Amino acid sequence: MKKFQSAVVLILLFAANLSFAQNKVKIKGKVIEQDTKQPLEFANVTIEGPDNTIVGGSLTDARGEYAIEVPPGTYNIRFDFISFKPQVITGREITADTNLGQISLAPDATVLNEVKITAERSTVEIKLDKRVYTIGNDMMVKGGTVSDVLDNVPSLSVDAEGNVALRGNQNVTILIDGRPSTLAGSNVAEVLRLLPADSVDKVEVITNPSARYDAEGGGGIVNIILKKGKANGFNGSFVANTGDPDNHGILANLNFRSTNFNFFTNIGYNYRRNPGNAFINSRYLDEATNGTTSYTDERRENDRLRKGYNASFGLEWFLDKSLTWTNSVNFRRNTGGNNTDTYYDNYDAGRNFLNRIWRYNNEDSEDNNVQFSSGLVKKFNENGHELKVDASVSKNINDENAIINNITIAGIPSAIDTFERTLNDQQDDRSLLQADYVLPLGKDARFEAGYRGNFTVLETDARAERLNPETNTWENDGNFTNFVEYKEYINALYAQYGSKINKFSYMFGLRWEDSNIDVNLLTTSQFNNKRYNNFFPSAFFTYEFSENNNLSLSYSRRINRPRGRLLNPFSGLESNINVFQGNPDLDPSMTNSFDLGYLKRWKQLTLSTSAYLNITDDSFQYVRQIRGISPQGTPITLTTPINLAKEYRFGLEFNINYNPFKWWRINSNFNFFRNETQGDYNFVFTNPDTGITTTDFQDFNFTAYAWTTRVNSKITLPWKIDWQLNSNYEAPQDNAQGKRRGVISANTALSKDILKEKATIALNVQDIFNSRKMMIETYIPFQVESYSEMQWRVRQVTLSFTYRFNMSRAERQKEQQRQRQNQDGGGEEYMGG
């Protein structure tokens, strides 16, 4: 009944606002809790006329403040909040702008016992240019990592290597708190596997970013927002977890908020072991006849260990009612290793066994990161007129060292046993300066403008050495040694304007970015400078047929700059016959992105659909080719990225949230896309042993169809036990040199609130059937045919315990009020960001 009454009130308020659109005056003030003197957020303020008709109303903000415009007249003004006694000002004549000052609400003991406090749950908020997923109390990721969080967000998927895709497109920019992460240099996948899931508050999925955002990311932007305390007084939570394979951790989120400042911190430690495995079966082909010359079956077992320490400290200082200054410091340290056993079984053309070679890679790593951020927010009025200035500096140092032995253990001895070692030292320095200005222009329009400067210097000292058995000394291997200096300086300006006319909303924006990038290979004296500047327009249109039914159309131009592993010609040596090598001469790709969306809500069902088209010039593709012979006589297959001419990606996406009963919630995502690539490439290779140069032309024109689907079910069982189950399927997908096979996987979790709902215990199982693998077929005529499977992490079982303490009564009620705002699973819609 209360939910129905709230809905009626909101509808009446909306109708009243349409009826009185001229000659208005403003009523403002503040609502506080009588006992603690703390502001009450989400308190209802209702203004009634003499005949008890509702003329206006509002909910208070985080400071307990409100501002309502009404025509001049005499009104009754009512203030209420759940479980508090209402206050009413009767017969107040309002002829000019009026400040009612502070209104104190006292607890109502007669209804307090009826209030049920529920745990925070995941919700989605749909805005004009993005979708915001509040992670809440998602059992499926308890004790996991940020990578697990993203894999549970609709439209996103994370493959076995940790690469994030948005609607099947991996050209995605990953941000943490709006900034590029520096935790592990340019290895974003590793960053996501190091941060604990419980540190995430929200995930913003921006499929077609406006001019406000960086133009980086042809497939869109994913912004991970970490938790920061907002509750009044001293409160927080502790999370502890344990699991098999080893997955142990503890995390504390603490917060103290007063009238003048808000201090927040989170401190954690985790110990994770991630055993994985892979194999590659290769059939090598004759360059003249395409017949079989030999076979090699490669088996690999990984045992990754990570020990991580995370600490963040931040202070929001409320200098006055309109000015807030926030400073934060983040420290992260991760140590560990990756012991890899690789076995090669070699056969002749008749599949007769020749020998088995054991390659052991003992890798140690250490990663240290520190980041300082500072931001000022100046609010000129209550209508959204504000200026934000942010700055941050960070340093990341990552060291990886490995000892690699290559020994024949069965069959015919190979030509030579080898002993190698690699040293990879990386330092990443980043700084950011950003200013954003928002100016409301009337009731339903606003103008935004800003500047953003990103400055990065990444130095990678990669060395490989081989033991000379005759002299017993280490000698440098020039094929895998280089000092790479990467400098990226990007300056950007943007402006955009948005407005709403009746049921029609629109927003136009233009961003200009100047890029100055150096990729210098200092060891080989190769210097590559890429200097360019580009305009990136964007446009958004939305038409609301009704409150629960709208249509949207958007366009933006994007850029995808190659970085890190894509550019670095140094290769890891876990395998010496299947090698990845970056391309320092890669150019950025440009994407024109179009999106047509439709949203419809019913009482128990929300449907969100979109049709999208991405047209990309100079898209990146990974190509495989034979490049020489290993010391053991086996052909070396090299994988490297190249620029291709054109890529067209068209797709349809459907998201459904369905609540058939109060105890059962279902959401599902389906994405179908067609990917067409037009281009060809000439391979030029000079054999270092013979000096002979060969050229191989390959046609990369191909068209592939693929689809993915995810279903998530959450059921409340007897005794208030929550059960969550999800399943995911990625259909097969062709590429220019083969195909990726389909993959199906499933996860499940059980959760129970205990200790008077102050604590939660959860058990989850990731990859129930141990089926989450990347399976790839490759065929290069006259060179090689292969099939590979890679499983980054085997099935994992995790038990977690969460305890929440000192959450004030008012804050718990605010939390409940927030949940009521999102009960339909669709969240709030409004223009702009």
- Measured CA to CA, the distance from residue 274 to residue 160 in angstroms comes to 12
Q: What per-residue confidence (pLDDT) applies to 809?
A: 46
Integer Cα distance of 488 and 96 in angstroms: 55
Cis ω before 245 (30° cut-off from 0): yes
How much is the pLDDT for 687?
Answer: 62
* CA neighbor of 62 nearest in space, from 804, 812, 811, 821: 811
| Residue 362 to residues 47, 232, 299, 577, Cα–Cα distance (Å) | 71, 49, 16, 18
Domains of the chain: 2-112 (2.60.40.10), 123-226 (2.170.130.10), 233-821 (2.40.170.20)
CB atoms within 10 A of CB 211: 28
The pTM (predicted TM-score) of the whole model is 0.72
Angstrom distances, CA of residue 330 to CA of 193, 267, 374, 394, 658 = 17, 10, 12, 9, 39
Q: Which token pair is 545?
A: 């047929």
Two tokens, residue 346:
């070699």
The CA radius of gyration of the chain, in Å to the nearest whole number, is 29
**Token pair for residue 324?**
């807030």
In DSSP notation, 307-367 reads EEEEEEEEEEEEEETTEEEEEEEEEEEEEEEEEEEEEEEEEETT--EEEEEEEEEEEEEEE
pLDDT score, position 823: 34
HEC per residue, 389-423: EEEEEEEEEEEEEEEEEEEEEEECCCCCCEEEEEE
Give the CA distances from residue 145 to residues 277, 351, 366, 802, in Å, rounded to whole numbers and listed in that order: 20, 43, 19, 16
Looking at residue 670, what is its pLDDT? 94
Predicted local distance difference test score (pLDDT) of residue 231: 54
Residues 45/79, Cβ–Cβ less than 8 Å: yes
Backbone angles phi, psi at 806, to 5 degrees: 55, 35
- Give Cα separations from 386 to 322, 383, 437, 450, 594 (angstroms): 9, 9, 6, 12, 30
Q: Strands across the sheet with 172-176, in order? A: 123-126, 131-134, 200-206, 220-226, 172-176, 179-180
Low-confidence ranges of the chain (pLDDT < 50): 1-22, 109-122, 182-186, 808-833
| Cα dihedral 288→290→292→297 (10° resolution) | 110
If we measure between CA atoms, which residue out of 188, 191, 190 comes closest to residue 216? 188
Helix (H, G, I), strand (E, B) or coil at 674: strand
CB 578 within 8 A of CB 549: no
- Facing residues of 306 across strands? 272, 336
CB 475: neighbour CB atoms within 10 A?
10
Structure tokens at 495: 């402006």
For the four alpha carbons of 15, 18, 21 and 27, in that order, the dihedral sign comes to: positive
Specify the pLDDT at position 463.
Answer: 87
Helix or strand run (H / E) with residue 18 = helix 2-19
User: Virtual CA dihedral for 225, 227, 233, 239, nearest 10 degrees?
Assistant: 170
Residue 437: its pLDDT value, please? 96
Contact assessment for residue 697 and residue 680, using Cβ atoms and an 8 Å cutoff: yes
pLDDT of residue 9: 42
Longest pairwise C-alpha distance within the chain = 103
Residue 652, SS3?
A: strand
Q: In this structure, what DSSP letter does residue 9 have? A: H
